[in-house]
């Protein structure tokens, strides 16, 4: 006679526990987590203590400066982010059916792709598939790759391929970086320019986490020159506006300069440097793991690159 054993698994935490833990770990403060999650700090502290008691290990190190994850906490943080993302994705997909939507795709992309290539590509895709919803989030290339690796994004677009990520990479488009200068600038009469020749002037730069910022720093170091940043901003539009105001010159993708070279008379100079021509890549965790909607978008983007 055979006996059948049924294994009953009960979870010792719920999604709210994970949400509160992630908020606390990311903000480094129970008080800030309470603000983010619209709850009281004492309730968060109690739930986190209960979670630590259940598993018999410390998840957070508490000090006068705030809190920080322990090694066990870091392991939980990585998994919790994925679980919460998947739970939100499931909730959104189920809710979308009642609204007539038949799929959701979360895309992380660097600013070059968003400015130059995605507007027309997404417009044609959503015209063909109005039942699908796309969430687009701007991130630097390293964060894009990490989000795809962590399953926080279905599809990513990066301008530089970060090391240490086991992702499927598909060539997407090429973009060209140009030097943008005001019409009365000493360089405005040039037809083309080497980047090193522009380094005697003040620059408008992007934030320090951007791939382009690191690229310009490397290029300046290779030229044995310094890169003088007068102002740092967070978007190519802001770079163009600062250049138009005469605060400096900037390196931006050619596609980002179009509205400004016409309306403000700014001058766009091609750079002779090989690094100024970049290959953008689509990246996914695996082709087999894509949802039907995400695969449709990937195929659309790949077909549109030709």
Helices (H) and strands (E) in the chain, counts: 12, 11
Does 84 score more than 70 pLDDT? Answer: yes
Give 121 or 263, the one with higher predicted confidence: 121
pTM of the model: 0.58
Average pLDDT over residues 144-165: 84
- Residues linked to residue 69 through DSSP beta bridges, in sequence order: 60
What is the set of domains in the chain, with CATH numbers? 15-79 (1.10.10.10), 100-173+279-304 (3.40.190.10), 175-277 (3.40.190.10)
Chain segment 163-175, per-residue pLDDT in tens: 667 899 999 988 8
**Which of 62-66, 82-86, 281-285 is the least confident region?**
82-86
C-beta contacts of 58-65 below 8 A and 24+ residues apart: 59/21, 60/24, 60/25
Q: How confident is the model at residue 257 (pLDDT cuts 50, 70, 90)?
A: confident
Average pLDDT over residues 260-284: 89
- pLDDT score recorded for residue 305: 57
Q: Residue 165 phi/psi, 5° resolution?
A: -120, 125
Nearest C-alpha neighbor of 178 from the set 271, 88, 287, 101: 271
Separation between Cα atoms, residue 158 and residue 171, nearest integer Å: 10
Give 231 or 13, the one with higher predicted confidence: 231
Average pLDDT over residues 184-194: 95
């Amino acid at each position: 006679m055979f006996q059948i054993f049924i294994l009953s698994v009960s979870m010792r935490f719920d999604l709210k526990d994970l949400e509160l833990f992630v908020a606390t770990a990311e903000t480094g403060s129970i008080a800030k987590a309470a603000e983010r999650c619209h709850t009281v700090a004492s309730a968060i502290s109690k739930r986190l203590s209960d979670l630590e008691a259940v598993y018999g290990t410390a998840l957070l190190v508490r000090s006068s400066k705030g809190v920080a994850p322990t090694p066990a906490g870091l392991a939980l943080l990585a998994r919790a982010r994925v679980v919460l993302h998947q739970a939100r994705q499931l909730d959104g997909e189920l809710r979308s059916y009642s609204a007539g939507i038949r799929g959701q795709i979360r895309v992380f992309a660097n600013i070059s792709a968003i400015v130059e290539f995605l507007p027309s590509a997404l417009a044609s895709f959503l015209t063909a598939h109005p039942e699908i919803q796309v969430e687009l989030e701007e991130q630097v290339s390293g964060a894009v790759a990490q989000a795809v690796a962590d399953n926080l994004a279905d599809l990513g677009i990066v301008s530089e391929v970060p090391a240490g990520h086991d992702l499927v990479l598909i060539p997407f488009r090429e973009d060209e970086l140009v030097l943008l200068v005001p019409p009365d600038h000493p360089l405005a009469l040039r037809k083309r320019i080497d980047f090193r020749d522009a380094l005697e002037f003040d620059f408008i730069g992007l934030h320090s986490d951007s791939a382009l910022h690191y690229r310009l720093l490397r290029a300046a170091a290779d030229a044995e020159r310094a890169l003088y940043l007068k102002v740092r901003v967070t978007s190519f539009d802001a770079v163009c506006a600062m250049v138009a105001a005469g605060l400096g010159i900037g390196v931006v993708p050619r596609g980002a300069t179009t509205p400004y070279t016409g309306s403000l008379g700014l001058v766009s100079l091609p750079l002779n440097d090989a690094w100024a021509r970049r290959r953008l890549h689509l990246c996914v965790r695996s082709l087999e793991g894509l949802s039907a909607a995400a695969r449709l978008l990937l195929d659309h983007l790949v077909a549109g690159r030709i």
